Each structure stands twice: as structure tokens, then as C-alpha cells.
Chain A
């Protein structure tokens, strides 16, 4: 038996993508496999971990808990849509960079989308509100201290309209901080240099 497929148009980051998918295609899989937008990560695939969070009509939603066919009338924003048109980082991305809000980065796309919407609704969160904003997302390596700091830093950046940093042009390390080029190359990625 050939499985029935449906022709739908997914609007992702402002671009319309016609796709032909079975009804059971999860939105997360459609984004990654049909559209090649692999920034959206799939962790638990049952709505617990938050890694696959995208914005559906501006609101954070688990893309693993939606079928692609159900998303046909919605505007979807993935982590790829958070950067400026020139590739510059959005304020939440820049804050994660500055605050060391990520290590392995697997959970990061879900945090970035969730916080982007959270700060739009509440541009000046208290510390407790910043914690609550990320309560539905799991991180297994960075820990939440720096992620909460990044929420608060992103709020500052968004408020101040601070100049954005291009990812190819990272900020100068602060004095006292080990510069990348001083690290032993073999261990640089683990941070265990020396």
C-alpha cells in the first residue's frame, strides 16, 4: 500500500516551501529532512526536552508535537531565522556567545527560539522570570546558570539596540581570559588545554 501524501506549503523564515509529505511527517522532520533546515534539533521526540522548539505564528511550539500538514496555515520561525539578513547574530544568539550559554549546542536552538519569543512578550524579565522562561527546555552540559545569564544579557542587548556581532568576527577576549590561539590545538575543543 502506498501511503497517501499531501501537498502543502510551509512558510519558514519568510520563505514559502512547497512539500509533499505523509500526514504523519512531524514538523521537526519536515524542517530537517524535507527542507534541509537542520538548525532545529530533535532530542526526545515526545515534547519533553525542548530542543526542537520553533516559533509558530510567533509563539514557541514543540515541532516534534506538530505534524507538518497542520502547520500549512502558519508562519514558522526556526533558529536559522533569528540571524540578521547579513548573517549577524540576533541579540539572544549574541548573548549566548558572550555568556557562554552553550557547550555542545544540541539544546541551543530550542533555547534561542523560546527566549526570543519570551523577551518579545516580556522585554525586562526579573531573574525569576528569566528562569521561568527557560523552564521548559533541558540542557545536559552547560547548566542553566549561564543560560539564565544569557537571557538577562539578551534583554539588555535588545533594549539597548547594541551593535550585533558577525559570527565570523567574534569579540576580542577579555583580558585575563585565555585566548583561543593560545590553547593547545589538540585540546582546544575540550577546553582542557595545557
Chain B
């Protein structure tokens, strides 16, 4: 199928983009489009206007320092994944990015776009939430910082207003002595994961974030839980569901397996 008609705007500045969004309550931002365009083509979404931010200069930056990694709204997954600085400062980011769709999709898709698309089956929202990162958002009244734990309010729903644009995401650096790991199980290479898990271990603190087993990206604090109980305790906070791809029981089993696996791997990889 083809997308329904929409008005198209390609502003050259952030201010013009925000003004375009503010002028049409049915407008959506177009960045990489790798999630949005299929939704449009299948007519699961029909916005009245697309505001294409690809011509706005300065949004494709990727910076990494001792504090963390900052990724601009037009930074493509592939560029973030290829950055040695990002890998050094926060290795969980490339670990998870390598599992985002296929390389061809990563060439066009943006990391910030994936974050605001807010798919609970996606990798990067879980990573941002687990690490305690944030989004920098610009709207008609200026900019604000949204912490990850406030960002996700429902399935495919984040707390941004319709006239706001996420301009960058911040992933905190991996602390000395801490370790991270990511793993997921998918039916086929590059498919959505049946279950995915990311671990952050820092001394006695053990946290694991999950994708595809709750309506929103979900992080569970497993500090102090015996190793043989990690997955079962995590499942008390998760809601694995049946669908055509897997049963709820199978997903629960994957939670047990992947939790043990990522916690062990994160401990082994501590700095």
C-alpha cells in the first residue's frame, strides 16, 4: 500500500520545524523514517503533515566524553555504532545497536528516532532507561531535559508533546568497575526480539532492562537476588504475553535464560 496524503515541510532550522509542528496538531516529525514510513505505507498512521528534519544543520553530532555519550537527532544508528569514542565511554550502546534491525536499516534510522518511537520491543529505549539517560527536547517555549524514567508512558507512547522535537539523547558513561551486557533472542537475524535483556552491574548493584516482555521498556533492580533466582524475581515485574511469534511461557523461559546470561556477562566484563 501507499501512504495517505500528507503535507510535507522541510524546514532549515529547528525554530521553523517547531513552528510547523505547532501549527498542525496532526503533524509528525520525520527523521530516519525506518519505523514511521512502514506505518504510513500500511496506513496504520496517517498524519496530516510530516516535518522532515533532515535539512536542519547540526543535528547529526555524536560526542563522547568522561560524562557520557550525546547523540544528535540525525545521527544514524550506523554512525553511532561505528564510533570508537562511544564504544569506549559506554559499550552498552554499540552492544545494543548491533542488534537493531539490519545494517541497511541502521544506515538511515536514527537512534533518537528509535527512542521517541517508544517501541517496547526496541533495543535503545531499554538501554536509555537502564543507564538513566535523558532526552533533550525543544518546543515552542524552549528546551527541556526529560529523564528516561519519565519518558515512556505506554505502548508506542512517550511523554513528548506534539509540538516538541527530541534534539539529542544522553547516555551516561560506564563507571569504573561497572560492567554491561546485552543479549536477545529473535526468530531470524535482524527481526524483532522475542525477548531482549540488558544488564548493568556496579559492585553489589545489579539492574536488568527488558524488551518485548512489558508494555514499556522495563528495568528491574535485582541487587541482592541470588543468582539462581534472578530470572524468577525479574518475572514478578514483567508481563510476557502470547502472540503469533511465541507463547508467554516461552518468553518467561527466555527471561530466565537471558537474565542469567547478561548478568554473568556484565560481571565478567567489569572495568
Q: Which chain A residues have a beta carbon within 8 Å of chain B's beta carbons?
A: 3-4, 6, 22-24, 26, 29, 45-47, 50, 53, 56, 59-62, 64-67, 69-70, 73, 114, 132, 135-136
Contacts and interface: CB of A to CB of B under 8 A. Distances in A.
B244 interface: no
B41 A46 contact: yes
Contacts of A59: 78, 107-108
Nearest to A6: B8
Contacts of A62: 34, 104-105, 108
Nearest to B82: A121
A69 B1 CA distance: 19
Nearest to A24: B3
B54 A70 contact: yes
Contact of A136 (B5, B10, B104): B104
B5 A70 contact: no
A41 to B, nearest CB: 15
B153 interface: no
B37 A23 contact: no
B255 interface: no
A47 B5 contact: no
Contacts of B42: 46
Contacts of A67: 8, 30, 33, 37, 50, 52
Nearest to B3: A24
A47 B102 CA distance: 10
Contacts of B7: 4, 23
B189 interface: yes
B67 interface: no
A139 to B, nearest CB: 14
A23 B8 contact: yes
B190 interface: yes
Interface string B97-141: 000011111011000000000000000000000000000000000
Task: Tell which of B1, B7, B8 has the most Cβ of chain A within 10 Å.
Answer: B8
Interface residues of B, number: 31
B225 interface: no
Given A26-B41, A61-B107, 10 more contacts: A4-B8, A6-B8, A23-B8, A24-B6, A45-B41, A46-B41, A59-B108, A62-B105, A65-B33, A136-B103
Contacts of B3: 24, 26
B107 A60 contact: yes
B57 to A, nearest CB: 11
Interface in B37-71: 37-38, 40-42, 50, 52, 54-55
A61 B5 contact: no
B38 A47 contact: yes
Nearest to A57: B107
B103 A60 contact: yes
B187 interface: no
A71 B55 CA distance: 10
Given A46-B42, A47-B37, A67-B33, A23 B105 contact: no
Nearest to A69: B8
A22 B103 CA distance: 29
B4 A24 contact: yes
A6 B6 CA distance: 12
A60 B106 CA distance: 10
28 contacts: A4-B8, A6-B8, A22-B5, A24-B4, A24-B40, A26-B3, A45-B1, A46-B38, A46-B41, A47-B37, A47-B105, A50-B104, A56-B107, A59-B78, A60-B107, A62-B104, A65-B33, A65-B108, A66-B108, A69-B8, A69-B52, A70-B54, A136-B101, A136-B102, A136-B103, A136-B104, A136-B105, A136-B190
